[in-house]
């Protein structure tokens, strides 16, 4: 898996250098406009909500304004072709005419100081952050109705986190979430920039951004066992962890990454707390089709997501709503956690 992660980074960089060719091949109905390729969605439908950067420092990065999904060109290929993690790597190698990607050499960071390593940068930022307890980040979550459980070591707070805008950098406080693989190794982070005046998200164009390798990984709350809950967003996952504190919950951070999650062999049943929109349905169906040998069930909120439900209906009604969607044999285990 570590080799796959390293190859994914190399492939993503190689695809970014050919971003225009990637877009023309996988999204032929789109069109070039300035530094972007514009299309309807990651499946290639006509429209103007999907923006892929095809030149410059952020070449290969994309965002769908209609769904909020974002990622790099590996993520786009995975969604466009409906592939799993390793299938996506194989497809990318085929596109790049790379039948085999060699193992990258193990070098000291001092041997190549000019090469930017986003995974290493993510680990440094997480290490430089502090405990979330008593910080602006905890107050932000409290404003979303979320009380942190004791198992929140994946969350930290950085009081002065750089935010890159179109002209340079700004500095805002940020909640930092560690994205890890199944072995607990940090592969990336997710940043939520915050406004110290309103205790809400910072007034910037993209108050949420990821750094590092997210594909297949997640933010984990609790030790994975034979039953777990997966969610799209961080606030949704934290809502579910608060309602069912003894159950492991993990956040994929977007619908695109939810469909690409890597599941542990020990997991026997997975409940997927998807958002109540078309992207959420597609992510759930993609995850279930990729893991056809697993027992996977959807949990559907009343509103757009379970955090919206929590703030509208309060904890007990939301807990009861979820219990009504569980298999009968799981109800005692879920309800006893409340």
The pLDDT value given to residue 215? 84
The pLDDT value given to residue 149? 78
List the one residue out of 10, 19, 26, 30 whose CA is nearest residue 56. 19
Any idea what DSSP says for residue 34? T
The pLDDT value given to residue 144? 95
How far apart (Å, rounded) are the C-alpha atoms in residues 175 and 138?
Answer: 9
Q: Measured on CA atoms in the order 253, 65, 72, 263, is the torsion positive or negative? A: positive
How far apart (Å, rounded) are the C-alpha atoms in residues 260 and 118?
Answer: 20
The pLDDT value given to residue 247? 87
**Under a CB-based contact definition with an 8 Å cutoff, are residues 51 and 62 in contact?**
yes
- The pTM (predicted TM-score) of the whole model is 0.69
The pLDDT value given to residue 224? 83
How far apart (Å, rounded) are the C-alpha atoms in residues 86 and 95?
Answer: 14
Sort strands 295-299 and 269-273 into parallel, antiparallel or unpaired.
parallel
The pLDDT value given to residue 115? 57
All CATH 3.90.580.10 domain ranges of the chain, comma separated, are 2-95
**CATH architecture assigned to 2-95:** Alpha-Beta Complex (3.90)
The pLDDT value given to residue 63? 87
The pLDDT value given to residue 9? 81
Place of tokens 């990318």: 92
**CATH architecture assigned to 219-335:** 3-Layer(aba) Sandwich (3.40)
User: Residue ranges of the chain with pLDDT lower than 70?
Assistant: 1-6, 98-116, 336-338
């Amino acid at each position: 898996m570590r080799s796959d992660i390293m190859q994914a980074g190399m492939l993503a960089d190689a695809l970014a250098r050919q971003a225009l060719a990637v877009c023309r091949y996988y999204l032929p109905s789109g069109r070039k406009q300035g530094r972007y390729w514009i299309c309807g969605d990651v499946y290639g439908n006509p429209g103007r909500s999907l923006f892929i950067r095809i030149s410059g420092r952020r070449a290969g990065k994309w965002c769908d304004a209609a769904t909020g999904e974002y990622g790099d060109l590996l993520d786009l290929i995975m969604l466009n072709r409906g592939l799993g993690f390793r299938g996506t790597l194989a497809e990318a190698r085929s596109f790049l005419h790379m039948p085999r990607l060699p193992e990258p050499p193990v070098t000291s960071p001092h041997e190549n100081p000019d090469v930017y390593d986003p995974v290493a940068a993510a680990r440094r930022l997480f290490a430089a952050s502090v405990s979330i307890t008593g910080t602006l980040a905890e107050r932000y979550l409290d404003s979303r109705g979320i009380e942190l459980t004791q198992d929140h070591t994946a969350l930290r707070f950085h009081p002065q986190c750089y935010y890159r805008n179109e002209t340079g950098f700004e500095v805002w406080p940020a909640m930092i979430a560690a994205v890890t693989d199944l072995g607990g190794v940090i592969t990336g982070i997710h940043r939520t920039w915050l406004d110290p005046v309103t205790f809400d998200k910072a007034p910037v164009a993209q108050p949420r951004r990821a750094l590092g390798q997210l594909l297949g990984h997640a933010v984990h709350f609790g030790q994975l066992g034979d039953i777990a809950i997966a969610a799209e967003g961080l606030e949704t996952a934290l809502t579910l962890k608060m309602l069912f504190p003894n159950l492991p919950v993990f956040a994929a951070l977007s619908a695109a990454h939810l469909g690409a999650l890597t599941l542990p062999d020990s997991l026997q049943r997975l409940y997927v707390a998807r958002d109540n929109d078309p992207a959420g349905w597609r992510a759930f169906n993609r995850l279930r089709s990729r893991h056809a040998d697993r027992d996977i069930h959807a949990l559907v909120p009343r509103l757009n997501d379970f955090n919206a439900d929590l703030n509208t209906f309060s904890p007990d009604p939301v807990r009861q709503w979820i219990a009504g969607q569980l298999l009968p044999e799981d109800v005692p285990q879920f309800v006893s956690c409340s």
